[in-house]
Amino acid sequence: SNILLSEALKQTEVQSKIEKLHLAAHLLSDSKDPIALFQQKSLSEAAHLLKIQETLDKEIADGPEFSGLGVNETIYRLIRSGYGKRAQKIQNECKVSEKTYWWARLRALVAKRDWGELEEL
Amino acid sequence: MAPRLGSEADHIRDKARRDLLTLLEGVRGKKNLVISKDLAGPVGLFVKFSVLQEYGVDRIFLLENANVDSTQRNVIFLVHAEKVHQIGTTAEQVKRLQENGTVEHDFYIFWVPRRTLLSNKILEDTGIIGDVNIAEFPLYFCPLEQDVLSLELEDSFGDLYLHKDPGCILLAAKALMQIQQRHGYFPRIVGKGDNARRLADLLLRMRKELEAEELSGLDDSVGGLLLPSLAIESLIIIDREVDFATVLLTQLTYEGLIDEFVGIKNNQADVDSTIVGAAVPPQASQGSSSTPQSASKPALKRKIQLDASDQIFSQLRDANFAIVGELLNKVARRLESDYESRHSAKTTLELREFVNKLPAYQLEHQSLKVHTNLAEDIMRQTRSDVFRKILEVQQNYAAGSDPTYQHDTIEELIARDVPLKNVLRLLCLESCMFGGLRPRELENFKRQILQAYGYQHLLTLRALEKMELLQPRSSTGPVVLPGGGASVGIKTNYNYLRKNLRLVVEEVSEKEPKDISYVYSGFAPLSVRLVQCVLQKPYILSLTKGGPTPPTVNTVSAASPGWLGFEDIVKSARGSTFSIVQKGDEKAARARQTLSGSGGVKTVYIFFLGGITFTEIAALRFIARQEAPQRKVVICTTGITSGGKMIEAAMEKGSFAKAA
């Protein structure tokens, strides 16, 4: 599945990346080894994230801005551009811890110079 | 050939230069030289561009740039024959030149360090083996300093532990054989670690092969070489695997910190010119220390030569960073008073003396400026909040306090988007020091890392696991070392060693260090402690027993073979332990001993397989200074490494972003 993962990295189209990831995850689906289980879960998460980012790219950004970023970075950028609701949705979907979310939020608000909202925290 | 002691580095440098120039001489007329990137640096260490020009080299190209033109009839390639893709590129470029060049070319390929089967095969497959002249350029050790020899294999760490490629062990063995052939055999080989064992076995086998050759009369070299050397005391091989943790700690000596923040390659650092000021044209009188690269590089980065030719740097390099500022201050004051001395010059003679010294002063002044700026910049970075947090976590780990207390800090670091390299370094450090992380916590961290830095790092994490840097505590996977039996410790038990070798020393004095632990402000690198177990037994004993520290032990500890006295302790470090005596023909040995008298100062070679950090070099130099009356220490390694480089070997470079 690691080979498939590196292949997925090389793909240029988002759709084919997701396909490869699913394939890689599928490969492990029969395994009971805890390490493999973790791997499988992460792979599907990766695919899921790519899908979310794809829609974000379509709806918010003009070009490919979000796809390929890490979860935290995605949240960070969303807040910076003022999409707090969406950021919170991702936090829930990807099970990001409170603490991480707050750090991302803090950094984003500082970058945005949104002192008003900062004071509300 | 009477081996002159202490000139090993010079000898190697001379030999490499001679070999290369002879090869170049063998090519008639003007020529273009194509050199691979990882060789350009080492070659620059022993030969200057102007010298190459004298030997008919017209222009130099980097292999990676693939921009060789057909201005000269002769084209020479200087390439590593161990790396597949480099051979491939070479073959490609030869073909390209053959096809579109209007001029007919003569091709020469000098394989470094030897011609390999693989290279032959690739050239055959591309169908050009008949069109090129092939020669070997046996470059093994590159002398970085008088006491440091390095193979300068950048990838050796990844090769050895990630890809399990023993290629660099072979190269190391060959390099050590060269020393043996010059000085005679290492009377004793002491070592720790499985790969070290392999290296020693290779050395023994090569010796046998050589003997067999000589007996059958194939080799016409002198038979006297088969004796164990009188000038060498022993060879100590330490496998990097034994002590990963030391590398993972942030280095705290001046040279180490430069390496952490800027990176040092072949004794040179690329420093932002905003920090050290734009490159000044080298002084006409003393410009020899600057290399050809420094002139041709764009002004954004400036190459700084970092070696013993810089007096100020050689004072600073091994000092703990905490006192660097003070040292610089002292140098500045001295320099000032030197300048002032011109006022006191009365006679013309005195004045002339001063003028004669002026270029030296100016040079010193310049280097002082560079190092002050550099130190200031490093100071700024070490004062940052993140750096201090990282350091705090490291120190706590090193001291052996409960790792779970640090997890909060690490989580915070991840959330704050600190470079992944640093986070992984901390986690790996914990894993190394405490024999793995608890499975649940490990999984938790993994998830956070993936979310923060992207899912491509699944591959990174996998690679780290393969290198046994990051593991769950009770490893369930099939991670059993191939060579190590059940009796040998699979992992290094730091908890045990910390106590028994006194790895942690409180009350360190960074100013007047008494123990090697000063290099990490209180933590003594295990690898170097192991070396001390062989060389400075009484000292270690007094340390662990807590007795009064005797002043440098004067009894010549010739009666301290190998690990004797420390077998039990050493056992709890990872990998096999061995101590081999190489005996020669006794009668001949005795005869020679009576001829040359008792040895006097002997040399100890210390080989770090898989890389060494500048900090460890500093610690070893500290030992060398203590041992100076009895022994000389020469440090050999496959390459200079650091925690960052270690993690980078495992890092997945690609990402899901389209731009990449």
| pLDDT tens-digit readout, B82-113 | 777 777 777 777 777 777 666 677 778 887 77
Structure-token pair, residue B478: 């099939």
Structure-token pair, residue B189: 């080989």
User: Average pLDDT of A61-82?
Assistant: 66
Q: What is the CA radius of gyration of chain A?
A: 16
* Minimal CA separation from A102 to chain B, in Å: 9
pLDDT at residue B553 is higher than 50? no
Report whether B462 contacts B400 (CB < 8 A): no
The four Cα atoms A67, A69, A72, A74 give a dihedral, to 10 degrees, of -30
Choose the weakest-confidence range: B296-300, B323-327, B596-600: B296-300
Q: How confident is the model at residue B598 (pLDDT cuts 50, 70, 90)?
A: very low
Separation of alpha carbons B75 and B33, rounded Å: 6
* Minimal CA separation from B411 to chain A, in Å: 8
User: Average pLDDT of B336-347?
Assistant: 72
Residue pairs spanning A and B at CB distance below 8 A: 93
pLDDT at B468: 73
Superfamily of domain B140-217+226-243+492-655: Sec1/Munc18 (SM) protein, domain 2 (3.40.50.1910)
Separation of alpha carbons B239 and B163, rounded Å: 16
Q: Do B458 and A39 touch (CB under 8 A)?
A: yes
pLDDT at B294: 37
Alpha-helical regions (H) of B454-580: 457-466, 494-500, 526-535, 537-545, 567-571
Choose the weakest-confidence range: A66-70, A95-99, B382-386, B591-595: B591-595
Report whether B493 contacts B481 (CB < 8 A): no
pLDDT at residue A80 is higher than 80? no
Q: Would the pTM of this model clear 0.90, i.e. be above it?
A: no
Q: Do A17 and B656 touch (CB under 8 A)?
A: yes
Q: How confident is the model at residue B615 (pLDDT cuts 50, 70, 90)?
A: confident
Three-state DSSP at B234 gives: strand
pLDDT at B282: 37
Enumerate chain B positions whose Cβ falls within 8 A of a Cβ in A: 411-412, 414-417, 439, 443, 446-448, 450-456, 458-459, 462, 476-477, 652, 654-660
Q: Do B450 and A42 touch (CB under 8 A)?
A: yes
Choose the weakest-confidence range: B300-304, B382-386, B552-556: B552-556
Q: How confident is the model at residue B434 (pLDDT cuts 50, 70, 90)?
A: confident
pLDDT at residue B222 is higher than 60? no
CATH architecture of B385-476: Alpha Horseshoe (1.25)
pLDDT at residue B606 is higher than 80? yes
Structure-token pair, residue B394: 């490291």
The class level of CATH for B8-138 reads alpha beta
ipTM: 0.73
Three-state SS letters, chain A: CHHHHHHHHHCCCHHHHHHHHHHHHHHHCCCCCHHHHHHHHHHHHHHHHHHHHHHHHHHCCCCCCCCCCCHHHHHHHHHHCCCHHHHHHHHHHHCCCHHHHHHHHHHHHHHHCCHHHHHHC
Structure-token pair, residue B251: 């280095």
User: Average pLDDT of B435-444?
Assistant: 76
Closest-approach residue (CA) in chain B for A71: B451
pLDDT at B555: 38
User: Average pLDDT of A64-81?
Assistant: 67
Choose the weakest-confidence range: A27-36, B84-93, B253-262, B411-420: A27-36
| pLDDT (tens digit per residue) in B5-63 | 446 677 777 887 888 888 877 777 777 778 877 777 777 777 777 777 777 777 777 77
Report whether B250 contacts B391 (CB < 8 A): yes
| More confident call, B467 vs B7 | B467
Q: Best residue in A100, A101, A105 to probe B by mutation, most B CBs within 10 Å?
A: A100
Structure-token pair, residue B349: 């003679």
Residue A94 CA, distance from chain mean position: 8
CATH no. of B248-273+302-383? 3.90.830.10
pLDDT at B234: 79
pLDDT at A9: 56
Closest-approach residue (CA) in chain A for B412: A100
Give every CB contact of residue B56 below 8 A, 6+ residues apart in sequence. Answer: B24, B27, B29, B30, B31
pLDDT at B484: 33
Report whether B84 contacts B118 (CB < 8 A): yes
**Residue numbers in A near B417 (CB within 8 A):** 72-73, 76, 107
Q: How confident is the model at residue A62 (pLDDT cuts 50, 70, 90)?
A: low
| More confident call, B457 vs B659 | B457
Amino acid (1-letter code) at residue B578: F
Report whether A90 contacts A52 (CB < 8 A): yes
Report whether A17 contacts A50 (CB < 8 A): yes
**Residue numbers in A near B162 (CB within 8 A):** none
pLDDT at B530: 77
Report whether B443 contacts A38 (CB < 8 A): yes
* Minimal CA separation from B29 to chain A, in Å: 46
Counted residue by residue, chain A has a size of 121
Cα distances from A79 to residues B419, B447, B603, in angstroms, run 21, 22, 63
Choose the weakest-confidence range: A79-83, A111-115, B356-360, B589-593: B589-593
* Minimal CA separation from B487 to chain A, in Å: 28
Q: How confident is the model at residue A59 (pLDDT cuts 50, 70, 90)?
A: low
pLDDT at residue B588 is higher than 60? no
Cα distances from B524 to residues B75, B248, B550, B639, in angstroms, run 50, 13, 19, 21
Nearest C-alpha neighbor of B153 from the set B505, B626, B640: B640
Burial class of residue A29, CB neighbours in 10 A (0-12, 13-18, 19+):
exposed
Separation of alpha carbons B654 and B660, rounded Å: 7
Q: How confident is the model at residue B415 (pLDDT cuts 50, 70, 90)?
A: confident
Separation of alpha carbons B202 and B198, rounded Å: 6
What is the longest distance spanned by two Cα atoms in chain B? 82
Burial class of residue A68, CB neighbours in 10 A (0-12, 13-18, 19+):
buried
A92 to chain B, any CB pair closer than 8 A? The answer is no
Q: What is the mean pLDDT of chain B?
A: 70
Over pLDDT 70: what percentage of chain A?
23
Cα distances from B49 to residues B31, B33, B301, in angstroms, run 13, 11, 20
A107 to chain B, any CB pair closer than 8 A? The answer is yes
User: Average pLDDT of B210-220?
Assistant: 64
Closest-approach residue (CA) in chain A for B460: A2
Structure-token pair, residue B390: 């990282």
pLDDT at residue B200 is higher than 80? yes
Cα distances from B38 to residues A121, B92, B266, B293, B623, in angstroms, run 52, 19, 10, 14, 31
CB crowding B62-83: b at 16 or more within 10 Å, else e: ebeeeebeeebbbbbbbbbbbb
pLDDT at B450: 76
| More confident call, A31 vs B641 | B641
pLDDT at residue B428 is higher than 50? yes
pLDDT at B489: 42
Separation of alpha carbons B520 and B249, rounded Å: 8
In chain B, where the domains are located: 8-138, 140-217+226-243+492-655, 248-273+302-383, 385-476
Three-state DSSP at B216 gives: coil
A70 to chain B, any CB pair closer than 8 A? The answer is yes
* Minimal CA separation from B644 to chain A, in Å: 21
pLDDT at B547: 43
Structure-token pair, residue B467: 């290198």
| More confident call, B595 vs B191 | B191
Give yes or no on whether B8-138 and B385-476 have one common fold: no
| pLDDT (tens digit per residue) in B152-190 | 776 777 777 777 777 778 888 888 887 777 777 777 788
A87 to chain B, any CB pair closer than 8 A? The answer is no
pLDDT at residue B642 is higher than 50? yes
- Under DSSP, the state recorded for B435 is T
Structure-token pair, residue B377: 């910049």
